[in-house]
Amino acid sequence: MRTIYDFTVKDRKGNDVNLSAYAGKVLLIVNTATGCGFTPHYEPLEAMYQDLKDRGFEILDFPCNQFANQTPGDADEIHQFCTLKFGADFPQFKKINVNGDEAEPLFAFLATEKPFEGFGRGIKNAALNTFAKANNKKFGDKAYIKWNFTKFLIDREGKVAARFEPTVDMKEVRAAVEALLG
């Protein structure tokens, strides 16, 4: 059975990182954006990281520009924005595609393990669903991720435990992380 430890990704400087380096840790893998309505998620993500990293928790940040071009700039510009505006201290990786033929294989795997089940109820969620459907039409059956700040929770064995759409309250995400940390 495959786990995330079977994947190698690029850090923000372009160096290979085998995800087996995170074996035994609880991970939250996130596709992020610097100019999105959900960009303020960096704040509770950083707070969670600072509070829980000593218990074996890591956040892996993968910037992506496939949703309304909300992540312009190169790796250094993105990193500078995240560190200066939000104090983000968790590992940030190379900007990637999460959908289409050039999707990062890790994200195709994550989304296959925990497929999209909807954004939830409410006017805001319905509006996001409409916009996401229009954006993702170009990717067809390879529209793995529906929007920025989709989060995948990974257990200590490298298995996908949960998927959180950006509309899920960060308190719920944190509770799930803490439950896995024990």
Q: Which residues are catalytic?
A: 36
For residues 155 and 161, the answer to whether their CB atoms sit within 8 Å is yes
Q: Is 92 helix (H, G, I), strand (E, B) or coil?
A: strand
Q: Is 74 helix (H, G, I), strand (E, B) or coil?
A: coil
Say which residues have a Cβ less than 8 Å from residue 27's Cβ, sequence separation at least 6.
Answer: 4, 57, 58, 59, 60, 152, 153, 154
Of 131, 62, 143, nearest in space to 101 by CA: 143
